[in-house]
Amino acid sequence: MRMPSSLFRLWRIRYSGSQGIVASAFLVIVLLGAPAAGAQTFDEASAAYMRGDYIVAFESFLSLAEQGHARAQFVLGNMYVEGKGVQQDYAEAKRWFHRAAEQGYTQAQNYLGCMYDEGSGVPQDDAEAAYWFHQAAEQGHADAQFYLGSCYANGEGVPQDDAEAVRWYRQAAEQGDADAQWRLGDLYEEGRGVPQDDAEAVRWYRRAAEQGHAGAQNNLGDSCANGEGVPQDDVAATYWYRQAAEQGDADAQVNLGAMYAEGRGVPQDYAEAVRWFRQAAEQGAARAQHRLGLMYLLGRGVLQDYVQAHKWFNLAASRYSSSERELRDKAVQFREEVASKMTPAQIAEAQRLAREWEPVQ
């Protein structure tokens, strides 16, 4: 299963972007301290923002922020992040987030944690990031709970501790956070921090998958394909792989391609297999590049083409990780096998295509 090696970054946050923050503020206006005479009220500042009058909004939020209004300090920080009404300045954003965070404002604490995690406007500091995530997580902030769980899972800023990761992921997952549900499912599947339990893994994968989480959909497809935690069901596996693949998930695209190549859960269709392998291969997925090379070598779903086969085997061999040495060696073996059938000019062309290839973003 995919295991994130670092935290999801700043813009994963549920309330990303100042407009979302201000729109939320319209629903629940919390004034922390009475504004001084003549100062704009928070709702008036919000109205200026929503109509696109960012300079007026900035000046109004600044007036409130300087008086200690935590929500205004938070929104002001976001205006500095987005460069609306003021020149973009992450250092100033951090200063205002920090002032709001010190008042216990959870959104600011969470954003501040992300800034330290990213090194945006501040020196990158995993320990400081974990500290601010913890402050917000203790108050029930689901995003911060997810981030803090990731800190413990990866040992970033805190000692690595799977049981603590499970604790924080669970709190976020129970609030409906799909990323946390997905990661909690991973930990149950792997028996990290909890007893290994495929059925419990599936339960969490399904909750995230039903929210449209591509990683969880792919994992749920794996569970169905392998009969782990659920009865083995290729049709269900194909369904979940497709849900994720159509969102651009490269792992799911490889898996869906394999289902078409093998006729599992769908009628065998090499052309459709190639279509999905290609989408993942163009994103840089080594397994997909390997499988696409095989399709060109064998002429399945495409015209047999040794140049293309060599190109894709070459790319796969270069992109497999150090933990995938056996697969890398297999790709090299296939590359050398196809090279034995090619002219020097064809090999040179395949090598040129591999050098010039760039992954699709």
The pLDDT of residue 13: 40
Whether residue 274 is found in the same domain as residue 192: no
Q: pLDDT digits over 119-150, tens only? A: 988 999 999 999 999 999 999 999 999 999 99
Whether residue 225 is found in the same domain as residue 288: no
| b/e code 303-339 from CB counts within 10 Å (16+ = b) | eebbbbbbbbbbbbbebbeeebeebbebbbebbeebb
Point out the residues of the chain with pLDDT beneath 50: 1-39
> Cα-flanking dihedrals φ and ψ of residue 358, to 5°?
-135, 140
Mean pLDDT of the chain: 90
Note whether residue 305 is domain-resident: yes
Q: Which helix (H) or strand (E) holds 240?
A: helix 234-245
In sequence order, what DSSP letters do the residues of 169-202 get, joined into one string?
HHHHHHTT-HHHHHHHHHHHHHTSSS---HHHHH
What is the total residue count of the chain?
361
**220 near 226, Cβ under 8 Å?**
no
Say what the pTM is.
0.86
Note whether residue 265 is domain-resident: no
Provide the number of structural domains found in the chain. 3
Point out the domain boundary residue: 96, 121, 150. Answer: 150
Burial class for 55, CB neighbours closer than 10 Å (0-12, 13-18, 19+): exposed
Note whether residue 256 is domain-resident: no
Whether residue 278 is found in the same domain as residue 298: yes
Note whether residue 69 is domain-resident: yes
Whether residue 145 is found in the same domain as residue 167: no
Note whether residue 188 is domain-resident: yes
The residue segments making up the domain with residue 53 are: 1-150
The pLDDT of residue 9: 38
Note whether residue 103 is domain-resident: yes
Under DSSP, the state recorded for 35 is P
Whether residue 223 is found in the same domain as residue 305: no
